[in-house]
Chain A
């Protein structure tokens, strides 16, 4: 079995699905001949041609708007937005059109598009190449939001997303793109949407995270294990629909919850996760749920490691929550 990076795993998923299903098309800025800004679509143009791998004008609203049209026709478009920071010109198309298409048409039209976009910081990208805007999309009825943390999940979740009949925002943690290699089966497999994974078992405190922050959460868990705090770490994988059951089951065991995410704290997805736990496991809680997140500021360039909720900020939260 080959050891692949996330970039390679996503590329393999796209190529495999394009071979299997000729309705699948890829479009975006420089996704064709160049192979995408991160080379995720490298080689697809040569194999599938310009009718299925489309270099578009630099206009995100047009990329998503035309992808919606292709989906209405019956294709399975996979548009790429170069950075999630640049998704906002397409926000109207995603939120007002794609998300509402099935509902407003009485179920006559579906909009099965998968919007791939790199997210997150830690690559010295500054404020317009680092953001994590998941909450804005989770808040919109009709969208599914996915964020894999590793190459295996990235491939399986992408295949499940393309085969899903609803619009999916597929957020790729760019810090992980080439930082991790792992065994990825060459063949076809799906990681089902809506299922979180316990990536570290423990009994003292539950940590919920996703994307690049899973690694920081695991590092923090290792750190506090030396202090006798046995943390359980959950990788959400799909942010919406949320796998509440896995979280609640864990919190019922540990009685404690820490949520970690890169996005700003206020109205971040962590707040929703905490509230779900309050509703379903309140009497099991032994400590106030905590959030370790990005600050309520724009994403900084020089001070990005002070902004990000890295392990050195997570570990004290685990220790204090466990000791409460």
Chain B
């Protein structure tokens, strides 16, 4: 996964911020810059800059010359000396702005996607929340949607284990095909599209591990207290980390399908394109995963080398086909 890029605020974001900040400040008689910064999740200096701009803004007014009474004003001494914001005069804006249709749409689709979370088990509450977003939008939000998942019992148990500060226990079928009973302190649930993962401290491996939820079975909550919480460990940025033992395999893939393999292509891999076929490299931790990946892209991706990898894929597909001839 690519590293997070800091996103600079564009003029539209800055305007949204100003239009959002004004009603928040008007609602409060006095508030510290630090509190506002924490609430909006931005740097204190960004709040100060915005307040300085708001304090000199206003409407042209009857005279068309921005007279004093047509401008916002703040208690400057409180602001300059105590880092406190007190709005003493406000114009034009009282209340928070509506969502745009697309903004409401993004949140509604996000809620649909998260409908398997225990937090969203109350379907009536989620429906009411979506309808409020629709009513709070300036246009009809319907352009984007995501299939709703079913309530997931595993997620509810994982959440319960964190609330009770106890270990989880489950059978795990690893990506190399081994089945083991694991004891885990749950730290974070992560998802990518239709795939859900638990990241936790594995007591068997004594390390942070990532588990696919669809490979977990017989999940229970133990009475054993946890030794690690989300607060005291730093999770690696990526779900799966490369290791020195990884195998690098040369493949040919249709240019149109290359994006599907993006997670497996190492940074700086050599890439040549001939007639719509791309020759590049993928990194895998073992052939067990590679043969499944390649067999799920028939005619689209082919292993070029090493010969051992080609043979493993050929054997896997042949064994599959053989089940039908017998």
Partners in one complex: no
A residues whose Cβ falls under 8 Å from a Cβ of B: none
